[in-house]
Structure 1
Amino acid sequence: VMYGLGAWPFRVVWATLPLTAGPLFAAALDSTRTGFRTAVSLGLWGCWAALLIIAFVPRSLSLTALRIGAVASAPAGIWAALDPGDAGNLARIGGLVACLLASFAVLAPDLGDQFADGSSYGDERRFLLRPAAALLLGPILTAWMAVVVGATAGPLWLADQHWIIGALATIVGWPLAGFAARALHTLSRRWLVFVPAGVVLHDGLALREPVLFARNEVQHLQPAPADSTAFDLTLGAYGLALELRLRTPREIGKARDPEGGVVAVEALLTTPSLPGRVTNHALDRLT
C-alpha cells in the first residue's frame, strides 16, 4: 500500500524536537522552582519519547494519542517563546517554529490515512473520513483542551507544591481527560473500508451500525455532482464529497435518531480525507 510521505514528515520533526525546541524550554523553565522544573522536564521528555515510539506504530488508537499529544506542542512552544527567560531570538524563533511544524504535521491527511489503514485486517483498505464541520467549530477543540488540561493541571500544581488544589485537580481532571479522549477517539474510527465483498461505511456519528455495500450492489463511487440528490452522510464536513450510488435501494439506520432512523437510500454522500485516493482504489476493488 502506498501512502505518499505518510508519517515521515512528522517523525522527522518530532525526532529532532529536543535539538530544535529543547533550548527554548530549558530557558523558560530555568527560573522556576527546582521541583516544578524537574517534573516538567521529565514530563516533556517522557511525552516526547512516548509519542516518538507511537509514531512508528500505525494504528487508529496511535493516531488519537499522537494528535492529542503533538498538537499540545504548539501552545507549549508559544508559552515558552513568550517567557522572559534567557533564550536568544534564534532559540525562540527556531523552537516555536519546530513546535508549530509538529502540530501541523500530525494533522496531515496522509498521516491519518496511514494510521487508519494500520488497523486493517487481512485484505482490507481503510480510509479516514473528515470530521464534521460543526465539530471543528468548537467541540473538538474543547475536548482536546479537556484532555490536555485535565491530565496535566493537577500534576503541575502538585509539582509546584500546591497540594490541595493539585490533588483536587488530579481527582477531577483525570476522569475528565479520559472521557474526552474517548470522545476524540471516535474521530479516528470513522472509515470507508474496502473489503473483498465490497465497501463498508463505518461511521458511528452518522450510522447506527456499519453498513456493507456488496460489490454487485454498487453502481459507482465517484465525486458527487453539484446537484446530487444522494442521502447526505457527510455531517457537513468540508472537502470533496463522494457519491456512492447503488443499483437497488438499501435501508440504513441513522445514528442517534429518536424516531428509529431507518431510511431507504439509492445513493449516499460521504467525505473521506483523501477522496482522490479513494476513487482510484474503488476502480480496482469495485469494478
Structure 2
Amino acid sequence: RTLSLTVVRTVVPLAPLAAVGAVAAGSDPTPLDAAVLAVATGAATWAFAPFVTDEFVDGSSYGPERRFALRTAVPVAVAALVTWTLTAGLMAGTVVLLVDSRWLLAIVGGAATAAMAVVLARALHQLSKRWLVLVPTGLVLHDPLALAEPQLFFRRTVRMLGPAAAEVPEAAATVDLTGGAAGLALALDLDEHVEVLLRRRRDALTVPADRVLFTPLRPAATLDAARDHRLPVGAEPA
C-alpha cells in the first residue's frame, strides 16, 4: 500500500541514526553494535530499493491493474531529504532535552517536531502516489504533482510506448511529465491528440498532446508489463 510505503520511508531510515546514537551513548563499540548498525543500514537501503517501491505501489492495485512507480526528480528528492533530516534532528534534540529535564524547551521542540513531521508526511505521501497504471483499456498516469487528475490513455490511441528518442519527433505536441528526473524516460506516442490536464499551483491547464514523456522507476519492467498488457512497445517512431 502507498500509505505503508510512506510510513516505511519515513520511519525505517531512523534505524541507522538510532543505532549510531545508542553506540555513541554506550561504552566501547562491540561486534554486536556493528552488526546492529549493519542491519539497520541494510533496512534503510531496502526501503528505497526500486523493486520494493513497486511492490508497495502495486499493493494498492485493483483487480487486473498493474502499477509502477514514477521516478522522483532530483531537486524534489533533495528537498524531501532536507525536510526529513531537519525533522529527525528536531526529534533527536527533543529527546536530549527530555533526558536533561529541560521541560519547556522539550515541549517547544516536540511541537516543532510534530509540525515538521506533518509537512514531511504529506510531502512523502504525495511522492508515494506517483505511478503508471496498466489497466484493461490502456494505461493511466497518476501524478498529483504534475497532473490535476489521473490521465487515461486508451489502448486504441497508443501508437507506441518505448524509450524516448534523443530528438523530438517532427511536429509532435509533447507534454513532459518527467520533471527532470534522472534515468530512462519513456515516450507514449499517440495516434491522436489527447487533452492533458496539467496542475499549475491551484489551477489546472488543459494542453493537447500526442506525445507524453514520463520516467518510471523501473523502465525495463514497465515495458515488459506493458507488452503483456497488449500495448505496442518498441522504438519511438520518428
TM range (shorter): 0.7 to 0.9
TM-score of the two chains, using structure 2 as the length reference: 0.86
| TM-score normalised per structure 1 | 0.72
What is the root-mean-square deviation of aligned Cα atoms in Å? 2.1
Alignment correspondent of 1:62? 4
Task: Tell me, yes or no, if the aligned pair for 1:143 and 1:183 is still in contact at 8 Å.
Answer: no
Map of 2:210 onto structure 1: 266
1:102 corresponds, among 34, 43, 48, to: 43
SS, match of residue 261 in structure 1: strand
Q: 2:182 aligns with which of 238, 243, 248?
A: 238
Find the counterpart in structure 2 of residue 281 from structure 1. 225
Could you tell me how far apart the structure 2 residues matched to 1:152 and 1:82 are?
13
CA contact (8 A) 1:241 1:271 kept: yes
Question: Which of 144, 167, 170 matches 2:107?
Answer: 167
Superimposed CA distance per residue, residues 201-250 of structure 1 (whole angstroms, 9 cap, x where no aligned partner): 00011111110001111112111122235432100111111111111011
Trace 1:1-287 onto structure 2 (pairs within 5 A). 59-83=1-25, 85-88=27-30, 90-136=31-77, 138-150=78-90, 153-229=93-169, 230-256=174-200, 260-287=204-231
Report the Cα distance in structure 2 between the residues aligned to 1:122 and 1:69, rounded to whole angstroms. Answer: 30
Task: Quote the offset at 1:284 in angstroms.
Answer: 1.8
Deviation at 1:63, TM superposition (A): 0.6
Residues 71 and 197 (structure 1), Cα distance of their counterparts in 2 relative to 1, 3 Å cut: same
Shift of 1:159: 4.2
CA distance in 1, matches of 2:121, 2:203: 29
Counterpart position of 1:8: none
* Runs (5+) with no aligned partner, structure 1: 1-58
**More off after superposition, 221-230 vs 159-168:** 221-230
> Offset of 1:129 from its aligned partner?
0.5
Structure 2 SS opposite 1:123 = coil
Q: Which has the higher contact order (CA 8 A, sep 6+)?
A: 2
| CA–CA distance in structure 2, aligned partners of residues 83 and 169 of structure 1 | 21
Query: How big is each residue's C-alpha offset from its partner over 1:254-281, in whole Å with a ceiling of 9 and x where there is no partner?
Result: 2125885321111111111111111111
More helix by share: 1
CA distance in 2, matches of 1:172, 1:266: 47
SS class of match (2:105): helix
Alpha-carbon displacement from aligned partner over 1:91-114 (angstroms, at most 9, x marks no partner): 343233222211111110010000
Matches of 1:179 and 1:225, distance apart in 2: 38
Does the aligned pair in 2 maintain the 1:144–1:184 contact within 8 Å?
A: no
Q: How many residues align?
A: 227
Deviation at residue 285 of structure 1 after TM alignment: 1.4
AA partner of residue 280 (structure 1): D
The C-alpha deviation readout for 1:42-74, integer Å capped at 9, x for no partner, is xxxxxxxxxxxxxxxxx1010111111111223
User: 1:152 offset after TM fit, Å?
Assistant: 5.5
CA contact (8 A) 1:73 1:99 kept: yes
Q: Which one is further off, 140-149 or 277-286?
A: 140-149
Helix, strand or coil: the match of 2:199? coil
